[in-house]
Amino acid sequence: MQLKPTEHQIQKAILDYLKARKILAWRQNAGGFVIKEGNKTRYIKTGIAGLPDIAVMLPYGIMLFLEVKNEKGKLSERQKEFFEKARELGHYCEVVRSIDDVEKILSNLTKLKK
């Protein structure tokens, strides 16, 4: 039986692939964490709801946002809203499940810019 990669493993592989190609990309974390300062506790929120997993900086100030999903994963409503708003602003948003998906997207975007 072959084990399926987790979304985290797919994300790491994609980030490694983009780094090897010298493409500026980073993992975006959204959520929060707790900080204790003396006897006070603070909750620190990071990112915004629906923020995709990976941001890729493309030429001309355009961003490519990648949401990594396993073979059965689907976008949440907040992720769909983020995609819609980002696309309205001229950015690209895609669901990816593998490095192959990312290669195809980058190839298609390169063809659009020529």
Q: What is the pLDDT of residues 60-85, one digit of tens each?
A: 888 999 999 998 999 999 999 999 99
Query: What residue numbers bound the domain in which 95 lies?
Result: 7-113
Residue pLDDT, tens place only, 16-25:
999 999 999 9
Q: How many domains does the chain have?
A: 1
Considering the domain boundaries, does residue 96 fall inside one? Answer: yes
Decide if 82 is inside a domain. Answer: yes
In a domain, 1, yes or no: no
Residue 68 pairs in a beta bridge with: 96
Looking at residue 61, its pLDDT comes to: 85
Query: Does residue 9 carry a pLDDT above 70?
Result: yes
In a domain, 2, yes or no: no
pTM for the full predicted model: 0.86
- Residue 105: what pLDDT? 96
In angstroms and rounded to an integer, the radius of gyration of the C-alpha atoms of the chain is: 16
